[in-house]
Structure 1
Amino acid sequence: MTTRDVIRASVERIPVSTNSAAWLPEARADLVVAPAEMPVPGPGELLVRTRAVAVNPLDEVKQHTGNLMYRWLPYPVVLGEDVAGVVVAVGRGVTRFAPGDRVVAYAVGMERGSRHHAEGGFQSFVVVREGLTAPVPDTLAFHDAVVLPLAVSTAATALFQNDHLALPPPTVPRRAEPAPGRGTVVVWGGSTSVGSNAIQLAAASGHRVAATASPRNHERMRELGADVVVDYRDSTAVRQLSDALEGDDVKGILAVGTGSGAPAVALAVATGARRVALASPAVSFAELPRRGGPSAAAVRTLTRMGASTALTQLTARRHGITASFVWGSTLMSNEVGRMLWHDYLPRALADGTHACAPTAEVVGEGLGAIQTAIDRLRAGVSATKLVVTL
């Protein structure tokens, strides 16, 4: 009897009559653990018993700022994008997975057109889409795999989608050296969750990779595939990179991290790059008060964001640069989603080509620990993904 057969036999004995979720009951409230309806997988969907979840800035921003983002979500709502666990049931037409399979998936309950409750990640049983799911090897722990979904999806959208950097797809195993003629890709914000995955994907696509990160993370950036790394906080970072890349054919720049757009566009001007993918807002929302209604802080934040965004776009257009904003979930309706979740990730995780980065830090166990993780995220983390096990 194989390991998978044992797991499947165990899954058949799992009671699936009850479910619980960490609900966001109203704007700016703390999460509340309460019963939830048991989701039923539809065509092309899986029902997964969740074993680990990770928290993302989207979760923190939605909770903290109310309806500034994701206005279409009805309260109460289940947040959460990153899930890993065991398949307990499959919907009609599913061919890649069966009950008992260990999987990692991008839960899209926060997106328009989704089943917001059934597909929200912060619950014991969650519905995920076959096209946004990959198998987890037996050698890989759920809490390590769960750092990937939203980050790797956003990175892939930015790098490979035709309206962003439009790079050729990555290969497995990853090339030992950049492919001739592929040029260079810059990841501004390499130690972020998105950046750590973008470095690996760009290298696997055959490109030389340059990145920015704090000095303590430089060696890790090189391990992930970066050839050139500079400190983004250095006032000469743009010049350092442009000097290091002199003569290179810079195919594009991915800007990750608050305020990364302006230096990324400046670097594009200096290097002759024609595409910049913007994956983060121009300013931080940290100053916004966790309450409704108008406030001086909200006016200041939104005014700075508008002004900074407009200036970045104006600079880009003046120099013939396309600077486009990235929405990570768009890959679920185009060829990039299949390339990533069907073709690349299963093989890359199986042979260890793609590292689960950044490093997972388990901050607690059970749905009640998710609020603790979000609070920790708001306080600030570096080169780390906060994870809760279930």
Structure 2
Amino acid sequence: MPTHATDEVLVRVRAVAVNPVDWVIQGTSRITYRWLRTPAVLGSDVAGEVVAVGAAVKRLRVGQHVFGLATGTDRGRDALREGAFQQYTTLLERLAAPTPDTLADEEAAVFPLALSTAACALFQPGQLGLRMPGDPAPPGPAGVVVVWGGSTSVGMNAVQLACAAGYDVVTTASAKNAHTVLGLGASAVVDHRSPSAVDELVAAIAGRPVVGAVALGAGSTDASIDVLSRTGGTRLAMASTPVSLDTLAGRRRLFPAMIPVFTRIGLGTLRSTLRARRRGIRAAFVWGSSLRDDDMGARLWGEVVPRALAEGALRAAPAPVVVGEGLGAIQGALDRQRAGVSAQKLVVRL
């Protein structure tokens, strides 16, 4: 049974969702998360019931259903006490919110990491630095946010948060998922596989001011740079590596197969960063749990998320797909996620 700190709540976990980072850590942490010591409890997405609160906790109470971001695998955190994939875990109050009666735990579990990553990309000063939902809007047009990868978990939350903040959103998705993304508030959706996708996005922007772009998925960074350079945008938030680690994560031995993969990631990232700089674009990588240590995290989870849920400006997306029950089902969920999931979030009930 984990022991909660004064600013934490102890949660009986009822549902968890899986993310690509979970199988990346499981398969490559000897290289990518070298600070992590095993045994470790993985997982970021938690929904459940509060069974105890720390002395400094103000918003949450025992018996309340909550959902929040578990950050146990981050550097300097406690992976045994703060990981999601266990029956009881601890959550920082500033990274958790009450689950409204309109949401089941399985639906609430789709939010934490994707929502936090989207918020970091949009609102942190080192990223796009946009105003948050609820901030007063300046006079004149709000501007356009480009989200390359609108049907990803982070993309769906970025679309909703940007729209809630008063921005217009143009994005990409497959033809199969376009209607879903439009339903979240995007004004235009372009098929990312189209050879004219950049041209179509530029046409949809139609000369309006572009306040920044969020790049999600392989190939998204260079495409977003092209859009920004043609529309006058100067800020890019990158949330994906140029090469997937899925082929490495399934190997028992990382060496020597890791050498060409990490070489391609390093060279690709350097090339894209230099390309952005030459075009006057500021590009930075997004770390979804970095809001734990800034004022934005407390405001997002304490104010923006509860209000947006109550007003209907934020809904659970992607749709949860329950793939099993109990801790024994989590490995299968990770394997299925690594094999490829589109516009869905895999959830396990506990």
- Aligned residue for 1:348? 308
State whether structure 2 residue 244 is matched by structure 1 residue 281: no
- Aligned residue for 2:252? 291
**336, 342, 346: which one aligns with 1:376:** 336
Over alpha carbons, which structure has the higher Rg?
1
Label 1:150 to 1:101 Cα distance change in 2 as closer, same or farther (>3 A).
same
| In structure 1, C-alpha distance between the alignment counterparts of 2:32 and 2:237, rounded to whole Å | 20
- Aligned residue for 1:69? 32
- Aligned residue for 2:67? 104
| In structure 1, C-alpha distance between the alignment counterparts of 2:58 and 2:33, rounded to whole Å | 32
Deviation at 1:286, TM superposition (A): 2.1
Alignment check: 8 A CA contact 2:66 2:97 kept:
yes
| In structure 1, C-alpha distance between the alignment counterparts of 2:13 and 2:43, rounded to whole Å | 12
State whether structure 2 residue 94 is matched by structure 1 residue 131: yes
Q: Name the aligned partner's letter for residue 268 of structure 1.
A: L
The runs of 5 or more residues in structure 2 that have no matched partner are none
Deviation at 1:179, TM superposition (A): 8.1
Aligned pair count? 348
SS at match of 1:328: coil
SS at match of 1:222: helix
**92, 98, 113: which one aligns with 1:150:** 113
- Aligned residue for 1:10? none
**311, 329, 351: which one aligns with 2:271:** 311
- Aligned residue for 1:80? 43
State whether structure 2 residue 281 is matched by structure 1 residue 321: yes
Deviation at 1:114, TM superposition (A): 1.5
Deviation at 1:306, TM superposition (A): 1.9
| In structure 2, C-alpha distance between the alignment counterparts of 1:259 and 1:368, rounded to whole Å | 35
| In structure 2, C-alpha distance between the alignment counterparts of 1:88 and 1:67, rounded to whole Å | 34
Percent identity among equivalent residues?
A: 51
| In structure 1, C-alpha distance between the alignment counterparts of 2:113 and 2:140, rounded to whole Å | 31
SS at match of 1:362: strand
Deviation at 1:180, TM superposition (A): 4.0
Alignment check: 8 A CA contact 2:323 2:347 kept:
yes
**12, 16, 20: which one aligns with 1:57:** 20
Per-residue CA deviation, residues 191-219 of structure 1 (Å, 9 max, x unaligned), is 00000000000001111100000011111
| In structure 1, C-alpha distance between the alignment counterparts of 2:106 and 2:177, rounded to whole Å | 21
Q: CA RMSD in A?
A: 1.5
| In structure 2, C-alpha distance between the alignment counterparts of 1:198 and 1:339, rounded to whole Å | 16
SS at match of 1:277: strand
- Aligned residue for 1:357? 317
Deviation at 1:249, TM superposition (A): 0.2
Q: Within 5 Å, give how 1:1-390 maps onto structure 2.
A: 38-171=1-134, 180-288=140-248, 290-295=251-256, 297-390=257-350
SS at match of 2:206: coil
Deviation at 1:236, TM superposition (A): 1.0
Deviation at 1:245, TM superposition (A): 1.2
Alignment check: 8 A CA contact 2:144 2:168 kept:
yes
Q: Name the aligned partner's letter for residue 109 of structure 2.
A: V
| In structure 2, C-alpha distance between the alignment counterparts of 1:123 and 1:336, rounded to whole Å | 28
Per-residue CA deviation, residues 218-257 of structure 1 (Å, 9 max, x unaligned), is 1111110100110011111111111221311000000011
Deviation at 1:351, TM superposition (A): 3.4
SS at match of 2:323: strand
SS at match of 2:37: coil
| In structure 1, C-alpha distance between the alignment counterparts of 2:139 and 2:148, rounded to whole Å | 22
| In structure 2, C-alpha distance between the alignment counterparts of 1:47 and 1:286, rounded to whole Å | 33
Q: Name the aligned partner's letter for residue 48 of structure 1.
A: V
